[in-house]
Chain A
Amino acid sequence: MSVLFTNLRIIMGKHKLATFLLIVFSALCLCVFGTLSEKADRAHASSEKYDETYGNKTYYRTVEAINDNAYHDYCTIDSKGLYEKLLSFEQLLLNSEAFTFIDISVQPVDINMPELAEQFFYGYENGRPAKPYRVDGRILQPIKSLQVSKSFFDEYDISVSDGEGFSEEDYFHKNKENIPVLLGSEYKEFFATGDKLYGDYLSERFTFIVKGFISEDAFFPDQSTMTSCGRYIVMPALFFETKGDAAKYSLLQKLCGIVSSSMGYEKTKELFEQYKLEANVANRELYISDPNAFADLTNFLDQYSAMTKEVASQFTVMVLIVMLFGVIATTLTLCSALRKNRQNFGIEMLCGATRVDIFKVALLFLLTVLLTADALSLLFAPDAMLSIQLAVLCMLLLSSIITAVYIKNMDMHDILGGNE
């Protein structure tokens, strides 16, 4: 036992600098390993999440293109009671068991806060951020907003990271002046849960109350790309209690949504037409788009999937390379130290040591170096604790196997006849 530690002391004492550098390098490797493997995990998780979320579903956009005359009537006296019919049509879509209907409208809200950071302005990504305008002595700035149904959160697996999500009630607007909103993650540095924003939505005055924040990894399909929710104000696609202007506008907007279905286009369309018939709007200009018209999005989703998978596997490769570096550095240092100590080992073998005894010294060296590096790396990357432990174990295993082979083949017969 004590010979073991004496030998460790001798080896480390002779290679103080190398041992120190090795510990630092291993700790560095472990830190990088930890950070990378966390990233790899996340990439894997998001590629899995992608598969789960989008799987073999197909998305169809629904479009409203009601002709001008009918629209004018609808907006004024609504002599045909179209509002009620459309309302029942919307209910049929939302309650369908055969497919999921998701409301996503991108109607901006106008907030009385022109000093807001520009990236939140409506049109910012297109290079034409909306200008603030003046009304009733207030300055209003149109900013990006999403109006979404409850199904939006389930379909795109979007969670709330702070505060709480919308309750059932939040989707019903009972003549209140308040609209609950969830803010994208980029708003976090400017607002907190419970804050109030004042402004107009569909030309009516509202107070928007921040209920919480959307988590960072949230995306929704916008035109032909997946867009981050980070810069959006997300509000419920409201059901208005009274048939006012806002109620009418928003209803038409809500009908432009997305149908997520795995039945294929023909069947989905058939069902869509059937709902129209049931709601007595069969003759109205309401359409469900051909999947080809939506091919861009499908393509994009495929690309997105391939991309996340590729990133995930690249991370895995990098993680393995970093670990391999650690193993190589460790075994090179150790084997060269062992080689330099060969004379002593030879003497000890004359005194009855076996190669296993020498291996024990090497193992003790490995344990000392790797566990110290382990402790160090945990100081700097405490989040990656589990994967670092795993890496330490792998490095220990690999290094000790290589070292064992090295010791097995080390020539130690020449001490007796040795001509030092």
Chain B
Amino acid sequence: MIQLSDIRITFGKENNRIDALKNVSLEVRQGEFLAVMGKSGCGKSTLLNVIGGVLKPTKGSYLFEGNDVSAFSGKQMAEFRNRNIGFIVQNFALVNEMTVRENVMLPLAYAKIKRSEAMKRAEEAMERLGIIQYEYKFPSKLSGGERQRVAIARSIAADTSVILADEPTGSLDEATGRSVIDIFKELNGSGKTIIMVTHDRELAEQGTRMLTMKDGEITGAQAL
């Protein structure tokens, strides 16, 4: 499903060049729950950015279901993110000035899906994650765990096949964090591909495969 070969990402120019990723090759099959671990600054977020179609690789090729994402235009990239990728991040990435409902419907709005259909899907997703009672509240009024569930509901409503999670439990207490992972496991069970960056080995072990990174390179892979 996801095929990265020899990906290089270089930031900065001339003297302060940084290779955030060097020759990263990776294959992810549909239905995997991949956990990525590594020290701070080793390039985990950068890797997710590449897979999510946010960053274009400086070098190398990225095939998603056979399509060459590295050759996409800006508009195609946006469409690609919209259709295929759900982003869950440590700080939730919710628009604070929009209600829970508006946040959940955001990808659907950009997908130009009919409003009635979008509302139905958003409601189903919120129902599924138990946040329907907050639909007209603003994210700032919710707890961290609830906010993270709004972000997950957003990707469920958009029905993306891939969920990219960058330290999704980083801002949550242990119990809430574990419940988020449980949701991931459930989603993974229903066929979604999940790639999750975490510092917590215990949480990482909940996945189907674990990658370790160091200095912009993948240094180890371990099936669980």
Contact residues of A with B, CB < 8 Å?
2-3, 6, 10, 13-14, 344, 346-357, 413, 415-420
In the complex, how many residue pairs between chain A and chain B have their CB atoms under 8 Å apart?
81
Q: Cβ of B52 and Cβ of A353 under 8 Å apart?
A: no
Contact residues of B with A, CB < 8 Å?
45-46, 48-49, 52, 54-55, 74-75, 78-79, 81-83, 85, 87, 89-91, 93-98, 102, 106-107, 109-111, 115, 154, 158, 164, 166
Given contacts A416-B87, A416-B166, contact A352 B110 (CB under 8 A): yes
Please, how many angstroms separate the alpha-carbon atoms of A14 and B97 in the complex?
A: 9
Q: Which residues of A contact B94 (CB under 8 A)?
A: 347
Q: Cβ of A350 and Cβ of B109 under 8 Å apart?
A: no
Q: Is the interface of A mostly helix, strand, loop or mixed?
A: helix
Min Cβ gap B139→A in Å is 11
Given contacts A352-B81, A353-B78, contact A6 B110 (CB under 8 A): no
B91's contact among A2, A10, A349, A420, by CB below 8 Å, is which?
A420
B75's contact among A348, A356, A419, by CB below 8 Å, is which?
A356
User: Could you write out 23 A-B pairs with CB less than 8 Å apart?
Assistant: A2-B109, A6-B98, A10-B97, A13-B97, A344-B97, A346-B93, A347-B106, A348-B95, A348-B106, A351-B110, A351-B154, A351-B158, A352-B78, A352-B107, A352-B110, A354-B75, A413-B55, A416-B54, A416-B87, A417-B45, A417-B49, A418-B91, A419-B91
Q: Cβ of B97 and Cβ of A347 under 8 Å apart?
A: no
Q: Which residues of B contact A350 (CB under 8 A)?
A: 52, 54, 81, 85, 87, 93
Given contacts A6-B98, A14-B97, A415-B93, contact A349 B49 (CB under 8 A): no
Q: Which residue of the partner chain B has the closest CB to A418?
A: B91
Please, how many angstroms separate the alpha-carbon atoms of A351 and B112 in the complex?
A: 12
Q: Which residues of A contact B97 (CB under 8 A)?
A: 10, 13-14, 344
Please, how many angstroms separate the alpha-carbon atoms of A348 and B54 in the complex?
A: 12
Please, how many angstroms separate the alpha-carbon atoms of A46 and B106 in the complex?
A: 59
Min Cβ gap B16→A in Å is 16
B110's contact among A344, A353, A420, by CB below 8 Å, is which?
A353
Q: Which residues of B contact A415 (CB under 8 A)?
A: 54, 89, 93
Please, how many angstroms separate the alpha-carbon atoms of A10 and B45 in the complex?
A: 29
A413's contact among B54, B79, B107, B115, by CB below 8 Å, is which?
B54
Q: Cβ of A3 and Cβ of B54 under 8 Å apart?
A: no
Q: Which residues of B contact A419 (CB under 8 A)?
A: 90-91
Q: Which residues of B contact A355 (CB under 8 A)?
A: 74
Given contacts A347-B94, A416-B89, contact A354 B55 (CB under 8 A): no
Please, how many angstroms separate the alpha-carbon atoms of A32 and B115 in the complex?
A: 45
Q: Cβ of B166 and Cβ of A349 under 8 Å apart?
A: no
- Most B CB contacts (10 A, CB to CB) among A352, A418, A420 go to A352
Please, how many angstroms separate the alpha-carbon atoms of A353 and B78 in the complex?
A: 6
Please, how many angstroms separate the alpha-carbon atoms of A355 and B54 in the complex?
A: 12
Please, how many angstroms separate the alpha-carbon atoms of A416 and B55 in the complex?
A: 11
